[in-house]
Amino acid sequence: MRVKKVMALMLSSVMIFSTVPGEVLAAEEVPTEFTDGVEDLEEKFSAEPSKDGEDLSDKNSEDLATKTEIKDELNSVNANDNVVESGICGDDVRYTVTKNDDSCGYTLTIDGNGAMYKYNTPHQWVPWTYSPYKSQITCVIIQNNVTTIARSAFFEFSNLTDITIPGSVTDIGQGAFGSCSSLINIVIPDGITSIEAATFYGCNSLTNIVIPQSVDEIGTAAFYGCSSLKNIVIPPNVTSIKDSVFYGCSNLTSITIPKNVTSIWPAAFSGCSNLSNITIPKSVMSIGNDAFYGSGLRNIKYIGSKEQWDKLDVSLQDINYATVSFHEHSYESYIIRNATCTETGSKKWICNLCGDFYIEEIKTIDHKEAKDDAVRATCTRTGKTEGSHCSVCGKVLTIQKTIAAKGHLWSEWRVVSEPMGALDGLEQRTCMRCGKSESRNISPTIIPVPTMPEPTATPKPELAEKEFKITENSYEGIYDGKNHAEGLISLEEKPETDYKIYYSIDKELNEKNYSILGSQSLPNCKNVNDYTLYYYIVAFGYKSKAGSVSVQIEPRNIEEKTVKLPYESTEYTGKYITPYTMIDGLTWNVDYSLEYVDNKQPGIAKIIITGMGNYKGTLEKTFEITKMKQNIKADKIPVYYEKGKTFNLNAASDGPGLLSYTSSDENVVKVDE
């Protein structure tokens, strides 16, 4: 009976090609003893409606033939010397067969717009079916804008080695590449959602195929007899492995069944003689008869419990008498990388039963806020509102808004000296906010004397501005936690009037921007970096001075630091052991990171400490994981011996949970074996 079932499944695949000319067994020719279940499968693969949902009648066939003859005549007029055959295969789709330039074989080109005819009725097939060049076609080119490939379109193209399928194709008919025995590689374009029944039936040279993620169904016998296929990736949205889909794929060594698959149909992997191991997800609710019969299957890893497997009611013959192992994952986690305010962290979950693992992302932590002091606006300089930034990554959290300069609030002009003769007088006014004063001359009143020339005003000497005398120093050294911006800029002589120094990191200051970009607070240059410290000095009566100094701070070697472990040895627990590791003055995940090696099983575990930020280099520390101690409790046993004689009864462990007893004097007491 089992032979009948397998033959019926094979027959269901063959019947797909019964509408195509060639030496294929028709359903009525099958011996009666092998016809179990064939009727249902034959009905399943009956012809689909033709284009626009209507079957092509004999009349339509005649119309199609007439249309083909007309277009053949038109094509023959315009064809070049290499075209040996042409015609139509869709409302706006045509084909040409051309002789290759190397005189080796022919190329079939399909171009136009839209779908090919479906050729679904028993006596209709693609126009090149009886072409004398069919067996010599080595290349098929489908131009962009063609949207479908007809059923059995390239059936028995025995010398086809190269095919181009554009992204415009969204449907490939049943048996499209059946018995293309020379086809080795093929790429299915994105957008295809189904690989129909027997699409690659009998492609015994096919070694590689790329199936897009968009495919959610693979039909019966789709890869039947693909004996050269070594591995294949089933897209994640496929929910069932259909009848005989990989039947006879004798070189198939690995395949992954997606987590969404709920059923494996009869004979799905029959004859896969090199397939020895397979993992079946617990989503599978049924496994059909002979699913793995005649394969090389030896081990099945079932991702579920034994109770769940037993409910599948699978016979040993259906799974080729393979050994089944099953469990539910028991995960434990440990931190790979802690999250910061700018980068996510990661946590690794490992099943302590089978080693399966997955990585979980740890969300970023909140920023550590540091305040930016407000800057008071003056008469001439803009101010800033209070803001804030992250002290770890430097990101601005609250933007400081600019406050416009207030402008001077002048008093009335006050006469300091009256004009005398031809000499100007002087008057002043003072800003009532900042105290700044400004002066202007009072011109004398000149009484003209007719007989004397008008006196010429004596030129006034211009006030020369003084220059700052500044000493600039740069710094280059190793990180020590100090602010090395201090003391780099010093005045050799302090101005006689008030002066102000503005600073900026990496932003050059000048007379136009110093009050906006600069700050009177000395910047912090203590962390590892190459800084350029710009400055701008202003004072009344002095010529403003701009300049810069450099601060270069290199990371300190972490090997200089002392590492403290809470213990040098600890007892085995069955879990990963991660002792808290301290380094004086340093912060974990800011100044250094930790990596643990061999930290679960008894033996010597290693901690790798890697410097980061202001530190460089690595340190290694070790600790011992000792075996767990076991306490053995021995039951009391009665002993009978002759009065007046002495002996010792010794107990020793022969293994986990076992004790054996010996007597110190077997002449007094002997312990039975």
pLDDT tens-digit profile of 279-321? 898 899 999 999 999 899 999 988 888 888 999 899 998 898 9
Q: What is the pLDDT of residue 51?
A: 36
Q: What is the pLDDT of residue 22?
A: 39
| pLDDT greater than 70 at residue 38 | no
Q: What is the pLDDT of residue 491?
A: 78
Q: What is the pLDDT of residue 53?
A: 36
Bridge partners (DSSP) of residue 550 are 532
φ, ψ (nearest 5 deg) of residue 313:
55, 55
| pLDDT greater than 60 at residue 225 | yes
> What distances in angstroms separate CA 27 from CA 3, 44, 156, one per listed residue?
18, 13, 20
Bridge partners (DSSP) of residue 343 are none
Q: For the chain, what percent of residues have pLDDT higher than 70?
A: 80
- Please tell me the distance from the alpha carbon of residue 328 to that of residue 353, in angstroms, as a whole number: 9
User: Among 96-105, 106-115, 275-284, 395-404, which range has the highest average pLDDT?
Assistant: 106-115
| pLDDT greater than 80 at residue 659 | no
- Residues 372-389, mean pLDDT to the nearest whole number: 90
Phi-psi domain of 429 (left: phi exceeds 0; alpha: psi -120 through 50; beta: other):
beta
**546-556 per-position pLDDT tens digit:** 888 888 899 98
Q: What is the pLDDT of residue 218?
A: 95
Tokens standing for residue 622: 């070790």
| pLDDT greater than 50 at residue 181 | yes
User: Among 74-88, 478-492, 608-622, which range has the highest average pLDDT?
Assistant: 608-622
Q: What is the pLDDT of residue 250?
A: 94
Mean per-residue pLDDT over the chain, rounded = 80
Contact between 84 and 133 under an 8 Å Cβ cutoff? The reply is yes
603: which residues sit within 8 A by CB, 6+ positions away?
A: 624, 625
Contact between 371 and 386 under an 8 Å Cβ cutoff? The reply is yes
Confidence of residue 422 (pLDDT cuts 50, 70, 90): low
Determine which of 68-72, 436-440, 642-646, 649-653 has the lowest per-residue pLDDT on average. Answer: 68-72
- Residues 407-413, mean pLDDT to the nearest whole number: 85
Best CA proximity match to 474, nearest among 487, 458, 456: 487
| pLDDT greater than 80 at residue 194 | yes
Coil/strand/helix, residue 223: coil
